[in-house]
Amino acid sequence: MAAPDIQIDSRLEDLAERPPLGVIAADLVRRQPLGAAGLFIVLVMIFMAVFADFLTSYDPELNAFEDMHIAPGAEHYLGTDQFGRDILSRIIYGAQTALIIGFVAAFIGATLGLVLGVSSAYFGGRFDLIFQRVMDVFMAFPLIILALALVAIFGQKVENDVLLVIIAITIPFVPNCARVVRSSALAIREMPYIDAARALGYSHARIILCHMVPNVMAPYLIMVTAFVGQAILLEASLSYLGLGVQEPTAAWGLMLQGGAEEYAESAPWIAVFPGLAITFAVFGFNLFGDALRDVLDPKLRRR
């Protein structure tokens, strides 16, 4: 009967010691001011994406030619584009596109990389050797080039443009995450508890998923955060090249592409504001990712 009492006491003690959220936030700002700024940008972006319907009264996809090329002003804070669409609305709704593609591509890419990287480290030997050479082949290509090639390959088969972009961005992420995670998993593989699990006759899947994966979560989380920023940039690049999301969907890269060439001189706001949105989003995720790395990496934390 004593043991349960000790457990409850321990939980209560933990709760009592946890400082309020405001204190945590203040502590984060003090210790990681740039990371806090990054987090703020990310939260603003998430807020925009979630509450897009309430933040603007303009339909981001509806043409209103009577309002074409209106400069930023009281009625349209960031102006209108060549189809008369409100640019602020399209930027707000564009955050949905950016986050959906960013999070889904980063999560799937990093998770596949996590499982494959840990498996490669766990099995070692010839499997590891061959698997790593395959990863080398993928990593030999710059991200954007690989993404372009994947759009060319899958573009004929996948009709949904958002899904196509997610596939094209996810696949290049897999080897990047697998390589980083593998290096951490190699050390864990040699731990006595892994030997103990083997000795107890646990299956490979159980050892990998229950005993190794939880111990490489720190690099995994850092990779996910970094990948979100990269995915947003890649999505914008593909859309800018006309290979990503298509009109009339609100997407920042697409907005940039529509405005940059023909209207750079006469209506610069069409390209400038989506460009700024991309810059801030990527900047925010990178700052947040760096801060997360500093917090989660014990070596960096000690400094």
Partner 1 sequence: MTKVYSQIAIALAAGFALVASGAGSDAAAQNRGGILKYIIPSNPPSADAHRESTFGTIHPFAQFYSVLLRVNPSNPASTTDFKCDLCVGDVPKPTDGGLKYTFKIKKGVKWHRVNVTKNTPAETAKWSKAIGGTELNAHDLVATFKKLIDPPKGVISNRKAFFSMVESVTAPDDFTLVFKLKYPSGAFIPALALPYNFVYAKKILDTDMHWYEKYVLGTGPFKFVEWQVGSHIKAERNEAYYWKGQPYLDGTEAVFAKKYSINMQAIRGGRAYIQFRGFPPKMRDDLVKALGKKLTVQESDWNCALFMTPNNKVKPFDDVRVRRALSLALDRWGGSKYLSKIAIVKTVGGIVFPGHPLAATKKELEQIAGYWPDLEKSRAEARRLLKEAGQSNLKFVFHNRGVDQPYKVVGTWMIGQWKKIGLKVKQRVQPTGPFYATLRNKKDFDVSMDFNCQSIVNPLLDVSKFQSDTIASNQYAGFQDATMDAMFDKMNRSGDPAEQRRIMRKFEKRGLDEKAYQFITLWWYRIILHRTAVKGWKTSPSHYLNLDLANIWLEEPLLSAK
177/183 Cα distance (integer angstroms): 10
Cβ-Cβ contacts under 8 Å for 274 (sequence gap 6 or more):
87, 90, 91, 94, 252, 253, 255, 256, 259
Please pick, from the candidates 123, 141, 202, 263, the single residue that binds partner 1 as defined by CB under 8 A: 263
**Residue with smaller CB distance to partner 1, 85 or 189:** 85
Q: How far apart are CA 281 and CA 46, in angstroms?
A: 10
The four Cα atoms 199, 126, 105, 291 give a dihedral, to 10 degrees, of 70
| Alpha-carbon gap, residue 71 to 79, rounded angstroms | 5
Binding flag, residue 77, partner 1 (CB under 8 A):
no
> Is 132 an interacting residue with respect to partner 1 (CB under 8 A)?
no
Rounded CA separation 146/161 (Å): 17
248 binds partner 1 (CB under 8 A): yes
Helix (H) or strand (E) holding 202: none
Choices 118-126, 155-163, 183-191, 292-300; region in contact with partner 1 by CB under 8 A: 155-163
Cα–Cα distances in angstroms (integers) from residue 275 to residues 60, 69, 94, 248, 258, in the given order: 17, 17, 12, 18, 12
Q: Which stretch binds partner 1 (CB under 8 A): 93-101, 142-150, 154-162, 274-282?
A: 154-162
| Binding residues with partner 1: total (CB under 8 A) | 24
Which of positions 186-245 make contact with partner 1 (CB under 8 A)? 242-243
Q: Which of 1, 18, 261, 299 binds partner 1 (CB under 8 A)?
A: 261
Q: Does 17 bind partner 1 (CB under 8 A)?
A: no
**Residue 154 is a binding residue for partner 1 (CB under 8 A):** no
Report yes or no: 172 and 141 within 8 Å, Cβ to Cβ. yes
Report helix, strand or coil for 80: strand
Query: Which among 29-37, 138-146, 258-266, 283-291 is the span making contact with partner 1, rule CB under 8 A?
Result: 258-266
Q: Does 159 engage in binding with partner 1 (CB under 8 A)?
A: yes
Answer yes or no whether residue 100 interacts with partner 1 by CB under 8 A. Answer: no
Query: Which residue, 190 or 265, is less far from partner 1 as judged by CB?
Result: 265
Query: Alpha carbon 96 to chain centroid distance?
Result: 13
Of 82 and 215, which has the nearer Cβ to partner 1? 82
Residue 14 lies near partner 1 (rule: CB under 8 A) = no
Using alpha carbons, select from 81, 135, 117 the residue that is nearest to residue 220.
Answer: 117
Which 33-72 positions form the footprint of partner 1 (CB under 8 A)?
A: 61-63, 65, 68, 71
Q: Which residues bind partner 1 (CB under 8 A)?
A: 61-63, 65, 68, 71, 82-83, 155-156, 159-161, 242-243, 246-249, 261-263, 265-266
